Amino acid sequence: MMVLVELEVIESHIGWLTINRSDAANSLSHNVLNQLAQRLDEIDESNIRVLVITGSGSKAFCAGADLKERSGMTDEEVVRTVKKIGDTISKIEQLSIPTIAMINGAAYGGGLELALACDIRTMSKDAKCGLTETSLAIIPGAGGTQRLPRLIGPGKAKEMIFTAKPVTAQEAFAIHLVESIFTTEELAEQTLHMARTISKNGPEALKMAKTAINHGCEVDLRTGLEFERQCYKHTIPTSDRIEGIQAFKEKRKPEFKGK
């Protein structure tokens, strides 16, 4: 079977996941979704501390659903396929480790929905992204109507979804859809630099910080603060916390083990 989703481990703790289907704009066929779900399970069981997700080539990050594959489906099959895309994207969101979507080219429909499920987004200055589904008489069905407004606000999200008009990298940065934009030449290097910076920090602390932020965004402040307290308490008995204090005293870099 052709490897459509590649996972490389860089410097022991950085996962680099690539959708390897550039001849079809890295679109999400059934086989891609199956392999993506398998790789995510492998990541869950690994010692990877931060994950970068990108697409092969330079033209597309991910163009969303494979419309050629979909053209021969019944209505029921289409509904099941969209659910499969949504479930797979949710697996990305549910990873306990920090995730970075490196948008190296066009990210449309399900491709942008995949990026929205990541914690951080970097983007090539030459790329565009958008939720273009209403131009096909459908709506985003893999989380776009829910994650986009939470990220950029309902008004701007409605504008993007109602018009089906893609935005440039500069526009995406201005509306806080992406956190950083770089030249095409700098994108991979700068994204890897960010991943390295993250991976050097306490693994359990990163997981607890992600959990506290994600949970807190969905509840009132008082409940969120209590949840933060519980996540903080989780880090106290770890050996990494002791190592962090000891390294600070000894003026050296800590060597965290994720324990």
Domain of 85 in residue numbering reads as 5-199
CA distance 212 to 232: 9
Residue 257 lies in a domain: no
Residue type, 76: E
Please write the tens of the pLDDT for every residue from 148-171.
999 999 999 999 999 999 999 999
Please write the tens of the pLDDT for every residue from 17-30.
999 999 999 999 99
Residue 255 lies in a domain: no
For residue 235, the domain's CATH number is 1.10.12
The catalytic position among 106, 111, 113, 117 is 113
208 and 181 share a domain?
no
For residue 25, the domain's CATH number is 3.90.226.10
111 and 164 share a domain?
yes
157 given a catalytic annotation: no
pTM exceeding the 0.85 threshold for the entire prediction: yes
57 and 160 share a domain?
yes
Task: List all residues 6 or more positions away from 69 whose beta carbon is below 8 Å from its beta carbon.
Answer: 29, 30
113 given a catalytic annotation: yes
The catalytic position among 64, 86, 105, 110 is 110
Please write the tens of the pLDDT for every residue from 31-51.
999 999 999 999 988 999 999
202 given a catalytic annotation: no
119 and 155 share a domain?
yes
133 given a catalytic annotation: yes
114 and 236 share a domain?
no
Average pLDDT value for the chain: 94
Burial status of residue 180 (CB atoms within 10 A of its CB: 0-12, 13-18, 19 or more):
middle
- Number of domains composing the chain: 2
152 and 38 share a domain?
yes
